């Protein structure tokens, strides 16, 4: 086992030195992932009517999440869309658009590079979590679905000319 002492913090270095002294071995990452996946699948089979967040056995509100986790996911979406909205408000950024309905708003990649995020699995809630955890990086805006479609049609029309 290799102990990397070029760790990020002092506490990481201490933890690695303690692990080395105690003879603790790191798990095989691939095996750990496979074991974890099979455990979660079995847990889901044993708890079919519970929330899909691991360890939560609350009854489902709608879809696959309990009320608590539905509210948490919705509040993250509101927070991100508000940050990227027009004037930091929950609103479409398109000039003249007044759509404020949360169900009609979504995140748009300003530079049309959303495929890269989708390849990395950043869609829906995972994209909102990524944006929150990375302090709202540049290159995103809030658009309504109508203007998302209009932007895409305009882009394809310009490409074909």
- The model's pLDDT over 6-26, given as tens digits with 9 standing for 90+, comes to 545 777 777 777 777 777 666
Percent of the chain as helix, strand, coil, to the nearest 5? 55, 10, 40
Give pLDDT tens digits for 127-144. Answer: 999 999 999 999 999 999
* H or E element at residue 151: helix 145-160
pLDDT value at position 1? 41
Which residues lie across from 27 on neighbouring strands?
A: none
Q: Determine contact, residues 16/8, Cβ cutoff 8 Å.
A: no
Greater confidence (85 vs 70) lies with 85
At 152, list the tokens. Answer: 């895409």
**Would you state the pLDDT for residue 84?**
95
Find out whether 29 and 11 touch, Cβ atoms under 8 Å: no
* pLDDT of the residue at 138: 94
**Number of neighbours of residue 50 by Cβ within 10 angstroms:** 18
Token code pair at residue 68: 């608590």
| Cβ neighbours of residue 72 closer than 8 Å, sequence gap 6 or more | none
Q: Is 124 helix (H, G, I), strand (E, B) or coil?
A: coil
Burial profile 98-130: b = 16 or more Cβ within 10 angstroms, e = fewer: ebeeeeebbbbbeeeebeebeeeebeebebbeb
Sign of CA dihedral 41, 42, 43, 44: positive
The CA distance from 60 to 138, in Å, is 36
- Greater pLDDT, 82 or 60: 82
State how far Cα 16 lies from the chain centre. 30
Contact yes or no for 51/65 (Cβ under 8 A): yes
């Amino acid at each position: 086992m290799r102990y990397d002492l070029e760790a990020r913090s002092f506490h990481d270095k201490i933890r690695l030195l303690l692990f080395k002294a105690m003879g603790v071995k790191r798990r095989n990452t691939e095996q750990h992932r496979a074991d974890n996946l099979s455990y979660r699948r079995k847990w889901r089979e044993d708890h079919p009517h519970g929330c899909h967040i691991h360890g939560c056995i609350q009854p489902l509100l709608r879809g696959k999440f309990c009320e608590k986790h539905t509210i948490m996911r919705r509040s993250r979406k509101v927070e991100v869309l508000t940050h990227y909205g027009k004037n930091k408000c929950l609103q479409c950024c398109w000039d003249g658009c007044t759509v404020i309905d949360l169900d009609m708003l979504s995140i748009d990649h300003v530079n049309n590079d959303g495929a890269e995020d989708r390849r990395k699995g950043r869609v829906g809630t995972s994209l909102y979590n990524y944006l929150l955890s990375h302090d709202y990086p540049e290159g995103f805006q809030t658009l309504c679905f109508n203007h998302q479609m209009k932007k895409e049609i305009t882009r394809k029309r310009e490409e074909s000319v």
